[in-house]
Structure 1
Amino acid sequence: MASAPIYVRPLPGPPHAALLTFRGITLRCAIGRSGVTHAKQKREGDGKSPIGRYGLEWCALRPDRRPPMPRPQLATIVLRQSDGWCDEPTSSAYNRAVRLPVSISTETMWRPDGLYDAVIGLSHNTAPRQRRMGSAIFFHLARPGLQGTEGCVAIPRAAMRRILPFLSEKTQMVILAPADAGRPKHV
């Protein structure tokens, strides 16, 4: 049985403003600070979210935050202080999890700002990986005021708590182009 998809629709106005719709819930979310781009045009560091349909590959939850986040029906790991994600296009570990410290460019997953207290990896540029085509495209918690992301999709903590239990390996996230934002989607 197919799971309901998560739709992300860019809004007019600031390029990072969008709406997320999932299982009858519609809420504002943040996307890339520079808006969206077609997946084949996505580049490392461009600040754009890739348009397309993506699987939810894994979830990581930070264990020291209270109250704890609910677990999704998706492969879930406990986030550790030594967890990182490689964003160095010349590395063989590009767009993969790494154990810190390393001498290559990485993103620290154990963040003081709490953005990755609950973080889900999207299947953008994962199989196969292509250098410079974008790394660390995640679904995670939003900054105050729903500020733009580096290319991820971000929602408020309360919203993540509400939808996490319904996410599974069958759930897909569909990031729409602005022209598609007003069209109804059928499953």
Structure 2
Amino acid sequence: MGSKGVTDGATRQQSTWTTPSGTYTITEGFGVESGGTSMPYHVVTSDDWWVEDPESKFYNSMHGEAGADFPLTEAGERGSEHLLNYRTQYAKALVINFNRWPAVPGRGAGIFLHVNGSGATAGCVSVPRATMDRIMPWIKAGAHPRIAIG
């Protein structure tokens, strides 16, 4: 969970280091490694970013560097996540559909279920690698999976 704990998903704000409470769908995954899942899944490359710039039309989605309307940096208020920089955490990950469709700028972006890193997360839910390895083949798109947080 986020280093500042769990907060109400309806009022959560970006950069608060909190995990949003609520029930969310999971419709896709990504990772540095092959996912081993029937979910739509993208193997990340050095071109892939999760856009956290609230001024970008791609806010709270994965986008490549080509055609980017966001700064290609992780620094500052307009920074985004360069996914390949998190090889351990994003070995395999599932997207928690918090603040998507439509994404409200500033509410938060990039909330995932992923492999543990070192310490608490910035708002994601993390699990041990062995647990993620069991989740990936188990989770099925046709079953309309959800995650309940809180």
Larger Rg belongs to: 1
Query: Is residue 2:37 matched to residue 1:72?
Result: yes
Rounded Cα–Cα distance in structure 1 between residues aligned with 2:80 and 2:86:
16
Shift of 1:73: 2.4
Which residue matches 1:162? 134
Query: Secondary structure in 1 aligned to 2:133?
Result: helix
Which residue matches 1:143? 117
1:112–1:94 distance in 2 versus 1, CA, 3 Å = closer
Q: Aligned residues: percent identity? A: 24
Q: Residues 39 and 51 of structure 1 are in contact (CA less than 8 Å); yes or no, is this contact kept in structure 2?
A: yes
Shift of 1:61: 2.8
Which residue matches 2:90? 116
1:113–1:97 distance in 2 versus 1, CA, 3 Å = closer
Shift of 1:112: 5.0
Q: Residues 60 and 79 of structure 1 are in contact (CA less than 8 Å); yes or no, is this contact kept in structure 2?
A: yes
Match of 1:133 among 107, 111, 114: 107
Q: Residues 25 and 145 of structure 2 are in contact (CA less than 8 Å); yes or no, is this contact kept in structure 1?
A: yes
Query: Secondary structure in 1 aligned to 2:89?
Result: coil
Rounded Cα–Cα distance in structure 2 between residues aligned with 1:143 and 1:62:
14
Rounded Cα–Cα distance in structure 2 between residues aligned with 1:70 and 1:129:
26
Under a length normalisation based on structure 1, what TM-score does the superposition of the two structures give? Answer: 0.69
Question: Which runs of 5 or more structure 1 residues have no equivalent in the other structure?
Answer: 1-30, 64-68, 177-187
Q: Residues 61 and 116 of structure 1 are in contact (CA less than 8 Å); yes or no, is this contact kept in structure 2?
A: yes
Query: Secondary structure in 1 aligned to 2:130?
Result: helix
Under a length normalisation based on structure 2, what TM-score does the superposition of the two structures give? Answer: 0.85
1:99–1:158 distance in 2 versus 1, CA, 3 Å = same
Which residue matches 1:182? none
Aligned length: 139
Which residue matches 1:61? 31
1:115–1:93 distance in 2 versus 1, CA, 3 Å = same
The Cα RMSD (Å) is 1.7
Instruction: State how 1:39-50 maps to structure 2 within 5 Å.
Output: 39-50=9-20
Which residue matches 1:19? none
Match of 1:107 among 71, 81, 84: 81
Q: Residues 27 and 145 of structure 2 are in contact (CA less than 8 Å); yes or no, is this contact kept in structure 1?
A: no
Quick one: which amino acid aligns to residue 174 of structure 1?
A: A
Mean CA deviation greater in 79-88 or 108-117: 108-117
Per-residue CA deviations over 1:131-185 (Å, capped at 9, x if unaligned) read 10000011111114xx111110001111111221111222110001xxxxxxxxx
Q: Residues 39 and 52 of structure 1 are in contact (CA less than 8 Å); yes or no, is this contact kept in structure 2?
A: yes
Mean CA deviation greater in 108-117 or 53-62: 108-117
